[in-house]
Structure 1
Amino acid sequence: MTIYATQNQWGGNSAPWHDGGLLSIGNRADQNPIALQIQSGDGGKSFTGTMTYEGEGPIGVRATLVTTNCYQVENQWGGSSAPWHDAGLFLLGARNGQNAVAFDLKSSDGGKTLTGSMTYAGEGPIGVKGSVSGGTGFDATNQWGGSSAPWHQGGLWVLGCRPEQPVAALDITSADNGRTLTGSMTYSGEGPIGFKATQTMADTYSVLNQWGGDQAPWHDGGIWVIGCRGTQGVVAVKATGSGNGLSGTMTYAGEGPIGLNLVPAVTEALAPA
């Protein structure tokens, strides 16, 4: 999965750049996206257009909103009558209550960075620049109503900042309806370290980690996406795993705990012939 930490610019070329959250637009393990041109005609409920993976030509894209800023995506190659293929979940936009409606992004360095423009509903185009994030994407599902109840789409989560060292445990809570989260986390092969996070956009958090005792310094822990309900913050997550996914429970503000399962979000999609 390719995840970008982005910034947005409006007001002209000399205007400041602002936090744009995380953008996830590719689910192939070793093949970065290098272009995305998609538009929405229904206020961000769906998108159509094209994207390009490194070493290929453009392929068709269609995407349907499933949770806040999270879309189920399909790709098509081989002509308009060819079949559509599952492309996994994409994160497109990062604002609460304001869907993105257009993207025009390109990369000149094999997908390490992206530049271009995007548009949020009710606005004009704004600048975008992004670079590959160290976080790992997870397809989340939730369960409520007992162990035999169905599992439901829980969005695309992004955890951690160490590409070669997966998150193995997470034990965090919030006392302010999800605006901040504190507790501990564990990277594979280590013991627990301190965790604190501050909400920056929708379900997006800026994370800090601490090790070496209560008086030790805090270190940058990356940009995470936790949850998928935007205005209903996450107030608890307790999950463990073996390094290839996590399972446990989580709680949204105003509710009781629900089941949580996180599976690495990499789709081994077929390459166009």
Structure 2
Amino acid sequence: MTVYNIQNQWGGSSAPWHDGGVLNIGNRPDQLPIALHIQSGDGGLSFTGTMTYQGEGPIGLRATRVTENCYHAENQWGGKDAPWHDAGLFLLGARDGQNAVAFDLTSHDGQTVTGTMTYAGEGPIGVKGTKSPGVAFDATNQWGGSGAPWHQGGQWVLGCRPDQPVVGLEVSSHDNGKTLTGTMTYKGEGPIGFRGTRTMANTYSVVNQWGGNDAPWHPGGEWVLGCRGKQGVVAISAKGEGKGLTGTMMYAGEGPIGLTLVPSVAHVHATA
């Protein structure tokens, strides 16, 4: 998974840069994306175009929206009649109720991206992004009992320590998801304090605390929690052993629903 924390700029080259949320534009664990050129002709419900991974030429990309800012992506190589391959979930955009409709991004090293993107109803705006240490997860939810079906829950991004997975999350909100407080646990440690402040649709700026109630708070990364935009997350209780998490969550105005988080990985390469 290749997650980027991005900023956007509008109003000219000397204008300030603004928080742009989190993008995920690739799910190959050992191959970073270096280009993304896609557009939407239906207001952000779907995208078509090309992308490029390190060591390859451009390959086809098509993506269909499944939840707020989350798209199921497929890649094609070998000609227009060749088969399409599952590329996992992408995060494309971060605004509440305003879909992205175009991306024109490039990278020299896969660690940073630059270019432009467009939200519906606007012109192109600048993009600059840095690869995030956060880990992307495919989320599913269940309601209606243990035998009920599981439903797409979007793509989440957790943590800020690339070599130390999140194995526990116990947080709740008293303001309909604008803020989340509680504890989290990284593998090999005990629980530490957690505070998250919602900055965009499902994006939270997180800080952590350890060492007691009077200890300082430390940057904890940009997280993506939930997939319903205006319906904020108000509780999460999930545990795991380092490869994923399971438990329950609540959206504002609802009761608890089942939650499963599995790391986002696409195993098929164009060179296969």
Same-fold call, TM cutoff 0.5? yes
d(CA) in 1 for partners of 2:60 and 2:143? 36
Residue matched to 1:60: 60
Contact 1:36 1:106 in 2 (8 A): yes
d(CA) in 1 for partners of 2:81 and 2:10? 40
d(CA) in 2 for partners of 1:74 and 1:42? 18
Residue matched to 2:104: 104
What is the aligned-residue identity percentage? 75
Unaligned runs of at least 5 residues, structure 2? none
d(CA) in 1 for partners of 2:161 and 2:267? 22
d(CA) in 2 for partners of 1:242 and 1:57? 37
Residue matched to 1:267: 266
d(CA) in 2 for partners of 1:3 and 1:270? 19
d(CA) in 2 for partners of 1:120 and 1:57? 27
Structure 2 length-normalised TM: 0.99
Alignment of 1:25-36 (within 5 A): 25-36=25-36
Q: CA deviation at 1:266?
A: 1.1
**Moved beyond 6 Å, runs of 4+:** none
Alignment of 1:100-139 (within 5 A): 100-108=100-108, 110-139=109-138
d(CA) in 1 for partners of 2:140 and 2:111? 29
Residue matched to 2:254: 255
d(CA) in 2 for partners of 1:228 and 1:199? 13
1:208 is paired with a residue of what secondary structure?
A: strand
How many residue pairs get aligned? The number is: 272
Alignment of 1:180-259 (within 5 A): 180-259=179-258
d(CA) in 2 for partners of 1:47 and 1:272? 23
d(CA) in 1 for partners of 2:122 and 2:154? 25
RMSD: 0.5
d(CA) in 2 for partners of 1:134 and 1:107? 17
d(CA) in 2 for partners of 1:175 and 1:161? 25
Contact 1:78 1:272 in 2 (8 A): no
Residue matched to 2:50: 50
Unaligned runs of at least 5 residues, structure 1? none
Deviations 1:223-250 (A, max 9, x none): 0000000000000000000100000000
Q: CA deviation at 1:268?
A: 1.2
